[in-house]
Amino acid sequence: MRHGRTNYNDLNLCNDDPNRDVHLTNKGIMQAEEAALALRDVVFDRMIVSPLPRTRQTAEIINRYHAVSITVHADLADIRSGFDGKPVCDYFAAIALDPLRMRMNGGESLLDHKQRVLCFIDWLKMQQDKVLLIVAHEETMRVFATYFEGGIADHQLRDIHVRNCEFKHYLLTG
């Protein structure tokens, strides 16, 4: 699941620093509450979130119906763009020559981020939980889509769009 709408979504700013004041807006809270209602009958073993507070805030709203543990996993963090606090359009302009491989201002490339999320999926395979809710970011959800849905080339990653509080159901085998 992607987190609810944030103040930085409204401002079109990048964020990968968990210490910045990036939080759910009223709309984001309402999105999370709607998702919570939709997921209220699912029996989760645990919820896993990124280190960025907006994912935990979303998970806590959903967890009102579940009361399971919420753990943080660093590999779920949003892409480290190198443009924290700066406009998303500036980031896109900076990586335009090679959107998959460009690293800016000490950040990671889209392919670096993809590799990090794939490491999380490998870690997940070793866990004993049967049903998890993972609350993460659009870039992370794009990697999940490529892994679980298949048939998506790396150059198509940016074509996948995931709405705030949109959730997908995937089955992890092996």
pLDDT digits (tens, 9 = 90+) for 113-136: 999 999 999 999 999 999 999 999
> How far, in Å, CA of 87 to CA of 174, rounded?
40
Annotation-wise, does 6 bind a ligand?
yes
CATH number of the domain to which 55 belongs? 3.40.50.1240
Which among 109, 113, 111, 118 is positioned nearest to 91, based on CA atoms? 109
Annotation-wise, does 23 bind a ligand?
no
Q: Is residue 165 part of a domain?
A: no
Q: Is residue 173 part of a domain?
A: no
Structural domain tally of the chain?
1
The edge-to-edge listing of strands for the beta sheet with 132-135 is: 70-72, 46-49, 132-135
pLDDT digits (tens, 9 = 90+) for 6-62: 999 999 999 999 999 999 999 999 999 999 999 999 999 999 999 999 999 999 999
Q: Is residue 65 part of a domain?
A: yes
Annotation-wise, does 63 bind a ligand?
no
Which among 141, 130, 148, 123 is positioned nearest to 1, based on CA atoms? 141
